[in-house]
A and B are shown apart, each in its own frame.
Chain A
Amino acid sequence: DAKTTQPTSMDCAEGRAANLPCNHSTISGNEYVYWYRQIHSQGPQYIIHGLKNNETNEMASLIITEDRKSSTLILPHATLRDTAVYYCIVRVRGSNYKLTFGKGTLLTVNP
């Protein structure tokens, strides 16, 4: 699976949009971009995934650049409960769904 690069940590003010970047410059055409988050001491939680088109759901939006070498997860109105480690993961389509987690980005939402 392609390697991803994320900032170690980010801060965001409550109520503002949180934009979390991820670089995956070696991504190939059959690899999806997934985002999960892990709130302290809990199991990871699925957020969103995409292949090449931008995606939106009730939790977040995923913006993938046209060359697919990077993406941004957007939490439109961050709350204190969004403080978590956010993982950007690239997964080969049809690869038994095995996920390779990196260190992720610790997002801290401040009041």
Chain B
Amino acid sequence: NAGVMQNPRHLVRRRGQEARLRCSPMKGHSHVYWYRQLPEEGLKFMVYLQKENIIDESGMPKERFSAEFPKEGPSILRIQQVVRGDSAAYFCASRKMGAGYTFGSGTRLTVV
């Protein structure tokens, strides 16, 4: 039973490009969370999604960031027109109803 799969593990983008981060939850998990960890800091909640619905996006920057969790396929965190300050580790976690989180190994985004 595979865990939460995130890809790519490492992503390098030039300023102004788009970054697309993918997260495949564990089998049977219908709740997905995205967290961001800036260098030397703790994890910060970004967004919580269920299939085809955004439940809580209170931690998501208002501009350039978007997330989706379609009926089929992985959850996608999309960052448009990346800037150096977006460089961070982005972690996805999934859970099923009534249970706790399982985190993925993260995507390290570097903006050059």
Contact = CB atoms under 8 A, between A and B. Distances in A.
A100 B105 CA distance: 19
A45 B93 CA distance: 10
Given A46-B101, A46-B102, A101 B33 contact: no
Contacts of B69: none
A102 B33 contact: no
Interface string A50-94: 000000000000000000000000000000000000010000000
**Chain B binding surface SS class:** strand
Interface in B25-73: 31, 33, 35, 41-45, 48, 55-56
- On chain B, which size bracket covers the interface? 20 to 34
B43 A42 contact: no
- Most chain B beta carbons < 10 A, residue from A87, A96, A97, A98: A97
Given A43-B104, A45-B103, A104 B33 contact: no
